[in-house]
Amino acid sequence: MDSFFNQYGFLIVSMTFSALLALSLYLPLMAGQLSLASPAFYAIGGYIAAVLSTQIFPVESGAPFPLERLLLEMLIAAAVSGVLALLVGLPALRLRGVYLALATIALVEIVRVLSLNLEITGKAIGIFGIPQPFATKLDYLWISGVLLLVSAFFVYRLEHSRMGRAFAALREDELAAGAMGINPTTTKLLAFVLGAMLAGVVGAVSAHFLNTWNARQGTFDASILILAYVIIGGSRTFLGPIIGGLLLTALPEVLRALAGVPGLPPLAVSFLQDGRLIIYGVLIVLSTLFFPQGLITPALLRRWNRKGRA
Amino acid sequence: MNALLQVDGLTRRFGGLIAVNNVSFEVATGEIFGLIGPNGAGKTTLFNLITGLTPPGSGHLRYKGADITAAKPHQIAARGIARTFQNIRLFSGLSALDNIRIARHVHTHTGTLAGVLRTPAARREERAVRERALELLRLVHLEQRADEAVGGFSYGDQRRLEIVRALALAPELLLLDEPGAGMNTNEKAALSDFIRHIREQFNLTIVLIEHHVPLVMGLCDRIAVLNFGELIALGSPAQVQNDPAVIEAYLGE
């Protein structure tokens, strides 16, 4: 069992990061806003942690990076991402639907190009040798796992509170929501800022976890991947994005393991090994065909609830 | 006359079409005010202007003496003007209870964090909102279906639910856009009683758009008639009924 966790420590923590990023995309979506900006704030959060830990709070080599400093970095990343989201969101949220998605992709690109060219972000090389607070990759679960539980609890409770219902009203019918007294601008902005803060925090942890941080983190590809987690997992409840993020991140590794099953014909082995992306794409198409609302739907949750009570 | 709403020289153009042309009238506190006119006369546009969904081209709107001409829809709702829509705009994927709870937004104060942490104040507010919402659902006999998504409700139930959702805003002025559309004669009579009942119970002033002449004549204290965006008559049901301009607008020369 131990060897399993050590072998797959990297994967398990990556799965929790994906689930968290999926939640960060889900938050604005709760208010009906299709924002693909999560990778931009993820990248910014990562650079904040990378710069702070390598230049501002250096530790002597060999000593573990103090945990409270990591928590401080996470707070700073959340604050900076939140303020930036406020500034960007005010003009961007005037756009609707796919136009907002395009504007947020532009933000992701701007952050990428800036980090490729700025001195402080290490240009194309990026920042490496980011100090480690933990001895093994699996230990990062203490941060990412707890963060996932707290975020899931936050979003679940939010869905059943006054502000969460205001988000849902905007998603259902923005015009009627306004006529019922909900301020569309500030409510959408709140949802956008919450999502950005979460993505920033995840970036800060991720930078330590990956040890290096560069312009390949948080790109347009990541936008699409995170969107796939939400769509396949289910975009109507907090659980959908989490399940989507966890499953889709584990999937390539599961396929790799399948390829190792003895007795398979060589063609199948090479397909499972090298055709992972094809399988991945086919699964995305199939699940949107057969589970158009995603794997986890509100009806499914209601059924579980009823069974739990009975 | 104690005017709750003053409409003063309101005009709105859409391209070459003048949807509402220099319309002025006042709605007195406590009355049921009918708005009638042929299709395309500008009745719904007038509602959209009053509730801020469409900004006026020129003219002024005053509510309880305050200028609301440039106010946003949510600000107008917060001041106490609630409405229903001609083509029902409930939050159809949400439960009946949630539809009504959402309309309590401006009268509640729980912030994001307090709501997530369920502080004592948040719990208290949540309980009060739930009770209030169930009370309103009882008014239209939908309390048993509080947790069902409203998209599956019958047409009549949706119409009535939309009215009580508007009531959840605790408005003083209620705008009803064709509340009886698609109902048969019996249903319209029941609706008429219901509207009178809620006016008494909630101390409302009501402006309604309706095509069904018996309903309008029996229910309204005063009636305004619009035709091609212009106000062509204003007065008691009997006055309006015999007005030659109104007869011409409806029947032609």
pLDDT at A296: 87
With contacts defined as CB-CB under 8 Å, which chain B residues touch A29?
Answer: none
pLDDT at A304: 86
Nearest residue, CB atoms, B110 vs list A162, A173, A184: A162
What average pLDDT does this structure show over A158-173?
Answer: 96
Evaluate whether A211 touches B130 at the Cβ level (below 8 Å). no
Residue B86 within any structural domain of the chain = no
B163, exposed or middle or buried, with CB in 10 Å at 0-12, 13-18, 19+?
A: buried
Q: Within this chain, do residues B176 and B71 fall inside the same structural domain, yes or no?
A: yes
With contacts defined as CB-CB under 8 Å, which chain A residues touch B110?
Answer: 161-163
- In this predicted structure, the answer to whether residue A310 has a pLDDT above a threshold of 70 is no
Distance between CA A240 and CA A245 in Å, rounded?
Answer: 9
Please report where in the chains the tokens 């979003």 appear, as a residue. A155
Residue B46 within any structural domain of the chain = yes
pLDDT at A213: 95
Residue B56 within any structural domain of the chain = yes
Q: Within this chain, do residues B97 and B198 fall inside the same structural domain, yes or no?
A: no
Distance between CA A284 and CA A224 in Å, rounded?
Answer: 12
Distance between CA B97 and CA B19 in Å, rounded?
Answer: 36
Q: Within this chain, do residues B28 and B150 fall inside the same structural domain, yes or no?
A: no
Task: Give the residue from chain B lying closest to A169, CA to CA.
Answer: B91
Q: Within this chain, do residues B128 and B70 fall inside the same structural domain, yes or no?
A: no
Q: Within this chain, do residues B76 and B175 fall inside the same structural domain, yes or no?
A: yes
With contacts defined as CB-CB under 8 Å, which chain A residues touch B106?
Answer: 181
Q: Within this chain, do residues B36 and B141 fall inside the same structural domain, yes or no?
A: no
pLDDT at A255: 81
Share of chain A above pLDDT 90, in %: 60
Last residue within a domain, chosen from B156, B183, B206: B156
Last residue within a domain, chosen from B130, B156, B182: B156
Q: Which two tokens stand for residue A104?
A: 């947020």
Taken as a whole, chain A contains a residue count of: 310
Size of interface A-B (CB pairs under 8 A): 97
Residue B31 within any structural domain of the chain = yes
Q: Within this chain, do residues B99 and B146 fall inside the same structural domain, yes or no?
A: yes
Count the domains in chain B. 2
Residue B63 within any structural domain of the chain = yes
Task: Identify residue B60 by its one-letter amino acid code.
Answer: H
Q: Of the given ranges (A123-127, A294-298, A305-309, B173-177), which has the lowest mean pLDDT? A: A305-309
Q: What is the pLDDT along chain B (253 residues), one digit of tens a residue?
A: 579 999 999 999 999 899 999 999 999 999 999 999 988 899 999 999 999 999 999 999 999 999 999 999 999 999 999 999 999 999 999 999 999 999 999 999 999 999 999 999 999 999 999 999 999 999 999 999 999 999 999 999 999 999 999 999 999 999 999 998 888 889 899 999 999 999 999 999 999 998 888 888 889 999 999 999 999 999 999 999 888 988 888 777 5
Nearest residue, CB atoms, A165 vs list B90, B98, B111: B98
Task: Give the residue from chain B lying closest to A153, CA to CA.
Answer: B116
Q: Within this chain, do residues B21 and B124 fall inside the same structural domain, yes or no?
A: no
Range among A24-28, A234-238, A284-288 rated most confident: A24-28
pLDDT at B1: 55
pLDDT at A107: 95
- In this predicted structure, the answer to whether residue A308 has a pLDDT above a threshold of 90 is no
What average pLDDT does this structure show over A197-218?
Answer: 95
Residue B166 within any structural domain of the chain = no
pLDDT at A53: 92
Distance between CA A31 and CA A187 in Å, rounded?
Answer: 8
Please report the ipTM that was assigned to this predicted complex: 0.93
Q: A180 vs B102: CB contact, 8 Å cut-off?
A: yes
- In this predicted structure, the answer to whether residue A7 has a pLDDT above a threshold of 80 is no
Q: Collapse the DSSP code of A160 into the 3-class scheme (helix H, G, I; strand E, B; otherwise coil) and give the result.
A: coil
Element (H, E) at B114: helix B112-117
Distance between CA A45 and CA A199 in Å, rounded?
Answer: 7
What average pLDDT does this structure show over A161-168?
Answer: 97
Q: Within this chain, do residues B69 and B99 fall inside the same structural domain, yes or no?
A: no
For residue range A267-301, what is the model confidence (pLDDT) as tens digits? Answer: 888 887 777 667 767 877 888 788 888 888 888 88
pLDDT at A123: 87
Q: B105 vs A166: CB contact, 8 Å cut-off?
A: yes
Q: Which two tokens stand for residue B72?
A: 């946003």
Q: Within this chain, do residues B70 and B115 fall inside the same structural domain, yes or no?
A: no
Residue B164 within any structural domain of the chain = no
Give the domain range for residue B222: 3-80+171-251
Evaluate whether A20 touches A143 at the Cβ level (below 8 Å). no
* Cα A212 from chain centre: 18
Residue B87 within any structural domain of the chain = no
Mean pLDDT of all residues belonging to chain A: 90
pLDDT at B102: 97
pLDDT at B253: 59
Q: Within this chain, do residues B53 and B100 fall inside the same structural domain, yes or no?
A: no
Distance between CA B160 and CA B182 in Å, rounded?
Answer: 13
